[in-house]
Amino acid sequence: MTHDAAPEPPSPVPPSAPPLSNEVTLRFLAAPTDKGHSGSVDAGTVLEWVDKAAYAAAVGWAKAYCVTAYVGNIHFADPVNVGDMVEVTATIVYTGRTSMHIRTVVSSGDPKGGTPTMRSQCLVIFVAVGQDGRPVEVPRWVPRTEDEREAQAHAVARIAVRDEIVASMKRQQYTDAGTAERVVLRFLAAPTDVNWGGKVHGGVVMKWIDEAAYVCASRYCGRDAVAVFSGGVRFYRPLLIGDVVEVEARLVYTGTKGMHIAVHVRSGSPKGHELNLTTYCLTVMVARDEAGTAVPVPHWEPVSDEDRRLWEHARELLQIRGKAPGGRLPNHLLGS
């Protein structure tokens, strides 16, 4: 993606046009079918909800079909439980020429009443596209309150950090020379995975990523594992219904409790032999005991040159994210 320019004055809107809303809230109950392997709602399902809410906000603003371009800085603070009343609020906080930066917050609580608790939040970037699949311009969003100006400044400040993360991730190569725990899931993209544009829903792809990261992390530590962070989720190309899908998850670094898992999603025609990269990200999983408490994981020691390069890459990403607004280094890196 190209750099977004600094905010500009809004395009003129005809007096007869209805005012655009920059916010959408979805409300629903977390169903029994949403229950995941951890006993609560898995991160992958939450990310599906996030993508749907952000899509609704983007399409409502752009008045055009939109595609997910990037999802970043996803923090999973607390789990959503089956039976919770869920609120997913997607708010446009910044617009580029063709892109919309959308802050998405997931909250949940007792459906009988009370104040919902924030469970996770992230920033999603959608791009508006025309019928030919090319990006089209979107109306400018102009903040009007101090909170809105602060949210916009935060989104703009993250652009440089995001570009640095993307550049670092793009430089890496993953080959069979790596010796760390690795899992590959293969399957066909089903008709039920379809989005409003006839392709695979971005939220479905993120659910596959969470599932592969879960298997990889659980095999490594021998315990149940859940996602606490996911970042740098970059969508390179659309994934088609009926494609052969390969989701590869590989351990690249361990902290005191976190297992950093690099995940690549590739796809291609079942009639051919070539699979192309569609999505890439890095997810942090933690191990949990029977009570659901995060516990330390075995330290992973790099063996091959590729292991050491990816280990350093994971630490570099932590350093970059530590420079972002509101970011901080994990405890085991402080002072190192």
Q: What is the pLDDT of residue 209?
A: 95
Beta strands in the chain (DSSP E): 23-29, 66-76, 85-95, 99-109, 117-128, 182-188, 224-235, 244-254, 258-268, 276-288, 294-295
Task: Pick the last residue of a domain from 75, 110, 142.
Answer: 142
Q: Same structural domain for residues 199 and 97?
A: no
Asked if 293 contacts 320 with a C-beta cutoff of 8 angstroms, the reply is no
Average pLDDT over residues 110-120: 90
φ, ψ dihedrals at 43, nearest 5°: -60, -35
Beta bridge partners of 24: 90
Per DSSP, helices labelled H in 63-189 are: 146-170
- pLDDT interval class at 123 (50, 70, 90): very high
- What digits encode the pLDDT tens for the residues 191-231? 988 887 788 988 899 999 999 999 999 999 999 899 999 88
| Residues 321 and 186 occupy one common structural domain | yes
- Decide which of 94, 119, 142 is a domain's last residue: 142
39 shares its domain with 122? yes
Query: Is residue 191 located within the same domain as residue 306?
Result: yes
Q: Are residues 132 and 186 in the same domain?
A: no
Tokens matching residue 16: 């007869």
Q: Is residue 87 part of a domain?
A: yes
Are 197 and 289 found together in one domain? yes
74 in a structural domain: yes
CATH of the domain at 113: 3.10.129.10
273 in any annotated domain: yes
76: containing domain: 23-142
As a whole number of angstroms, the distance between CA 332 and CA 284 comes to 15
Domain co-membership, 222 together with 286:
yes
Q: Is residue 58 part of a domain?
A: yes
Q: 208 and 115 in one domain?
A: no
Q: Does residue 62 lie in a domain region?
A: yes
For residue range 2-14, what is the model confidence (pLDDT) as tens digits? 445 555 555 555 5
For residue range 140-158, what is the model confidence (pLDDT) as tens digits?
999 999 999 999 999 998 8
- Summary count for the chain: helices (H), strands (E): 4, 11
Specify if 147 maps to a domain: no
- Shared domain for 191 and 293, answered yes or no, is yes
The tokens for 15 are: 């007096």
- Here the tokens at position 267 are 């796809």
- Please indicate, yes or no, whether residues 34 and 100 belong to a single structural domain of this protein: yes
Report how many domains make up the chain. 2
Is 213 found in the same domain as 281? yes
* C-alpha–C-alpha distance, residues 33 and 13, integer Å: 44
Q: What is the pLDDT of residues 147-190, one digit of tens each?
A: 999 999 999 988 988 899 989 988 999 999 999 999 999 999 99
Whether residues 222 and 308 share a domain: the answer is: yes
Of 113, 142, 171, which one is at a domain's C-terminal end?
142
